[in-house]
Amino acid sequence: MITSQLLINLLAILVVAWILGSLFARYGLPVMLGELLAGVILGPPLLGFVTSSPPIDLIAEFGIFFIMFHTGIEMDPKELLEHIWASTAVAVGGFVLPFVLGYFTNRFFGGTIFQSLYVGICISVTAIAVQSVILHSMKINKTYIGHIIIGAAIVDDILSLIGLSVLLGITKSGTIQIGDITLVIFKVIAFFAFTILVGHFIIPRFTRKLHDREGKAFTFAIVSAFIMAYLSELAGLHLVIGAFLAGQFVREEIMDKKIYEAISDRFYGLSYGFLAPIFFASLSFHLHFYGSRSFLVYTVILILMAIIGKVAGCGLGLAFFRRSFWESTIVGFGMNGRGAVELVIASVVLKLSDNLIASKTITEPLLTDYQFSALIVMAFATTLIAPFSLKWAATKTCLPNEKADFCQLWKDRG
């Protein structure tokens, strides 16, 4: 329900995010940093003027949804497939190493085995929606490195899903449920097979007949996005993967160029002009701090392990494909941002923990409030650091050799 308070909250977020985003952009920094700062200022961490609520959370979810749909529109599916093996290697390295580092870090600070496993899962996640915004803001999204990062982020989400399924099964039953894991993998494979079939053989028959009278092409795009998001959820994946793949249906080579540009412009305005500022501001609402020195030390080390794990793991994955050190570093920093996905995972774990403690199945929580707060700070910090580190690595890469493929693409799109 739209209330006067909701309108005031949205107005405050958009105005402050617009002012700070414009200020950051003036100094060559990503607009999303200003939007994150707007959430810090207006939200619980500072003024407490705006807090998380179901309507704002819903709008933020739509922000993730339409950002990913627009990312799919701009990405070339052939380029994604061309780099699928590199993306997979990057995802595996960027998932395994942070998971291991997160596990041992939490064990060192006295966490139980289950708590440490769940912390490991949370810091191994890459937020695909956050990455797409960063890549878009820096004009890297259409380069081959951009395709590798987005492809790796999708694979990373799938690995996180499988890893979470395994852990939840062990937590509930005390054993690894092979049947449940097999079902998850089967649903993921079936979903992608269906997507390729529909995208290649069916959708082009509709898109060639699209017209833009009364916004019908825009309606078709939204319907495609909702259907794919629903199927993605049925497969056990996050809805943003379905939204991204639906965006692949709206590509220039299978429809009239003017209609494609109209659809792209409308979704760009809707996502980046309205929904994205609310999404990034709402991330800041989850920030909570403990005043103890032990919390500060634990959180700082967790952040360092998260960054080192992603940069080193993803970089090593790409190094197998004979990319340069700096290109591998770009991909590592590009995969480093977190965001909403690990918040969802952590929330699921907390809810399960409460249920299992209530039923006396377990006596220790699967995640403590202390650990949860540290994970929230880690997600915010890595999201904040990602654009700075990515821009630094990209600049370093292109200083010695302006003729490198990536540098030329970056320069042309800049």
What's the 3-state SS for 157-185? HHHHHHHHHHHHHHHHHCCCCHHHHHHHH
- Radius of gyration of the chain measured on its C-alpha atoms: 21
**The pTM is what?**
0.73
Nearest to 126 by CA among 290, 331, 264, 280: 331
Confidence (pLDDT) at 99? 94
Whole-number Å distance between alpha carbons of 132 and 135:
5
Cβ–Cβ < 8 Å for 404, 145: no
Whole-number Å distance between alpha carbons of 146 and 132:
9
Token digits of residue 311: 């940069």
Sequence-distant (≥ 6) Cβ neighbours of residue 109 within 8 angstroms? 294, 298, 301
Confidence (pLDDT) at 14? 94
Cβ–Cβ < 8 Å for 409, 134: no
User: Dihedral through CA 314, CA 316, CA 318, CA 320, nearest 10?
Assistant: -150
What 3-state DSSP class applies to 211? coil
Residue range(s) occupied by CATH 1.20.1530.20 in the chain? 59-413
Token digits of residue 315: 């970089």
Confidence (pLDDT) at 323? 80
Long-range contacts of 351-359 (CB under 8 A, 24+ apart): 352/168, 352/171, 352/172, 356/171, 356/172
CATH for 59-413 (1.20.140.10, 1.20.1530.20, 3.40.640.10, 3.90.650.10): 1.20.1530.20
pLDDT in tens, the chain (414 residues): 778 899 999 999 999 999 998 998 887 677 877 888 899 899 888 888 998 888 998 898 888 788 878 877 777 677 677 788 999 999 999 999 999 999 999 999 998 888 999 899 888 887 776 777 778 777 777 788 888 888 888 888 778 777 877 777 777 666 656 776 777 778 777 877 887 777 767 777 776 666 666 567 788 888 888 888 888 878 766 677 788 778 877 765 556 777 778 888 888 888 888 988 998 888 778 777 777 888 899 999 999 999 999 999 998 999 888 787 888 888 888 888 776 566 667 766 777 777 778 877 777 888 887 888 888 788 878 877 888 888 888 877 776 655 556 676 666 655
The gap from C-alpha 322 to its chain's centroid, in whole angstroms, comes to: 27
Compute how many other C-beta atoms are within 10 angstroms of the C-beta atom of residue 223. 11
